[in-house]
Amino acid sequence: MAKRFSLEGRTVLLTGASSGVGAELAERLLDRDCRVIAWSRRPPEIESDADLVHEAVDLADSAALDAALSGLTTRHPDLSVVINNAGVSERGDFATMAAAELDRLAETQIAVNLAAPIRITQHLFPHLRAQASAMLVNNSSGLAVAPTAMNPVYCATKAGLRSFTYSTRYQAERAGGRLKVVEVLLPLVETPMTASRSHRGKLSADKAATRIIRGMERAEAEIWVGQAAILRRITGFSPALARRLLKIAGG
Ligand SMILES: NC(=O)c1ccc[n+]([C@@H]2O[C@H](COP(=O)([O-])OP(=O)(O)OC[C@H]3O[C@@H](n4cnc5c(N)ncnc54)[C@H](OP(=O)(O)O)[C@@H]3O)[C@@H](O)[C@H]2O)c1
Domain assignment present for residue 5? The answer is no
235: helix, strand or coil: helix
- For the stretch 99-112, pLDDT in tens is 999 999 999 999 99
- CA atoms of 237 and 9, how far apart (whole Å): 41
Please give the residue that has the higher pLDDT: either 46 or 91: 91
Q: Which long-range contacts (CB under 8 A, 24 or more apart) does 46-52 make?
A: 52/17, 52/26
Taking the whole predicted model, whether its pTM rises above 0.95 is answered as yes
Query: What is the count of structural domains for the chain?
Result: 1
Domain assignment present for residue 32? The answer is yes
C-alpha torsion sign, points 185, 189, 195, 201: positive
What separation in Å is there between the alpha carbon of 22 and the centre of ligand 1? Answer: 7
What separation in Å is there between the alpha carbon of 113 and the centre of ligand 1? Answer: 9
If one residue of 119, 193, 204, 225 were mutated to test the ligand 1 pocket, choosing by the most ligand atoms within 8 A of its CB, it would be 193
Q: With beta carbons less than 8 A apart as the criterion, state whether 133 and 80 touch.
A: yes
> Which of 25, 19, 67 minimizes the C-alpha distance to 40?
19
* Residues pairing with 56 in the sheet: 40
Number of H helices, E strands in the chain: 9, 9
Domain assignment present for residue 121? The answer is yes
- For the stretch 203-221, pLDDT in tens is 999 999 999 999 999 999 9
* Residue 236 confidence (pLDDT) above 90: yes
Q: Which atom of ligand 1 is nearest to the CA of 16?
A: 43
**Band of the pLDDT at 49, cuts 50, 70, 90?**
confident
Residues with CB under 6 A from ligand 1: 15-22, 40-42, 57-60, 85-89, 112, 139, 141, 186, 188-189, 191-194
Domain assignment present for residue 16? The answer is yes
Domain assignment present for residue 2? The answer is no
**Band of the pLDDT at 15, cuts 50, 70, 90?**
very high
Question: pLDDT value at position 47?
Answer: 78
Strands 179-185, 52-56: pairing kind: unpaired
Domain assignment present for residue 3? The answer is no
What strand order describes the sheet that includes 179-185? Answer: 52-56, 35-40, 11-15, 79-84, 134-139, 179-185, 222-224
> Which of 223, 39, 233 minimizes the C-alpha distance to 139?
223
**What is the residue range of 196's domain?**
11-249
What separation in Å is there between the alpha carbon of 84 and the centre of ligand 1? Answer: 10
**Band of the pLDDT at 72, cuts 50, 70, 90?**
very high
**Band of the pLDDT at 128, cuts 50, 70, 90?**
very high
Domain assignment present for residue 209? The answer is yes
Domain CATH for 103: 3.40.50.720
- CA atoms of 23 and 26, how far apart (whole Å): 5
